C-alpha cells in the first residue's frame, strides 16, 4: 500500500505554486490596469490632438470628425478634477451631436441642425462648460481650442 505522505506533499507543492501564480497574475493585472494620470500636462497633451474639432464639426467630414470626437473623449480620462466636470459635459454633448450626424446616411447638415435643436435646452450648460474648458486651456496650456481661420482683409481708406 502506497504511503499518503508523497500525495500530501505533492498537493501542498501544487497549492503553493498555484498561489504564487495567482499573486503574480494579480500583480501583472494591477500594472496593466493602472489608471491614467490626471494632470494638467496630460490634458494639455491630449487636447493638442483635438485642434481641428471645430472645423470637423463645421465641415461634417467623417474622416476627421470621428477621430477628433474620440480624442476629446480620451481627454476626459486625464482631465484634472478642477476641469473634469466641464470637460465631461462638453465631450458628451459633442459626442451626441457627432453620433446623430454619423447616423444620418445622407443629410448631414439637416441631421446636425436637428440634433442641435433637440438639445436646445442644454445650450447654456454646454456653452458655460465650453467657456470654462477654453479658459482653463488658455491658462494651463497656453493655447486656445478654437481653430479660427480668419484672415486679415485689406482695408481701404475712404477719402
Cα 48 from chain centroid? 12
Q: What is the pLDDT of residues 43-93, one digit of tens each?
A: 988 888 887 787 877 788 777 888 888 888 989 999 999 999 999 999 999
Mean pLDDT within 142-155: 52
- Cell for 130? 465650453
Angle at 13 between CA 7 and CA 15, to 5 degrees: 100
Q: For every residue of 27-49, which 3-state class applies, written as one string?
A: HHHHHHCCCCCCCHHHHHHHHHH
Cβ partners under 8 Å of residue 76, min gap 6: 84, 87, 88, 91
Q: What is the pLDDT of residues 122-139, one digit of tens each?
A: 999 999 998 999 899 899
Tell me which of 7-16, 19-28, 88-97 is least confident.
Answer: 19-28
Which residue's C-alpha cell is 494591477? 30
Of 63 and 95, the one with more pLDDT: 95
Tell me if 44 sits within 8 A of 139, measured CB to CB: no
Cβ partners under 8 Å of residue 81, min gap 6: 38
Residue 23 has a CB neighbour count (10 Å cut-off) of 10
Amino acid at each position: 500500500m502506497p504511503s499518503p505522505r508523497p500525495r500530501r506533499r505533492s498537493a501542498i507543492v501544487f497549492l503553493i505554486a498555484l498561489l504564487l501564480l495567482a499573486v503574480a497574475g494579480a500583480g501583472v493585472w494591477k500594472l496593466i490596469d493602472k489608471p491614467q494620470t490626471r494632470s494638467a500636462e496630460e490634458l494639455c497633451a491630449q487636447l493638442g490632438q483635438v485642434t481641428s474639432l471645430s472645423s470637423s464639426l463645421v465641415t461634417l467630414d467623417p474622416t476627421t470628425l470621428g477621430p477628433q470626437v474620440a480624442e476629446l473623449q480620451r481627454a476626459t480620462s486625464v482631465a484634472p478634477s478642477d476641469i473634469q466636470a466641464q470637460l465631461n459635459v462638453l465631450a458628451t454633448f459633442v459626442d451626441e451631436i457627432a453620433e446623430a450626424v454619423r447616423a444620418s446616411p445622407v443629410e448631414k447638415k439637416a441631421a446636425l441642425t436637428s440634433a442641435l435643436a433637440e438639445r436646445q435646452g442644454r445650450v447654456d450648460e454646454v456653452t458655460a462648460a465650453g467657456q470654462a474648458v477654453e479658459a482653463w486651456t488658455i491658462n494651463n496650456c497656453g493655447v486656445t481650442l478654437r481653430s479660427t481661420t480668419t484672415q486679415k482683409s485689406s482695408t481701404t481708406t475712404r477719402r
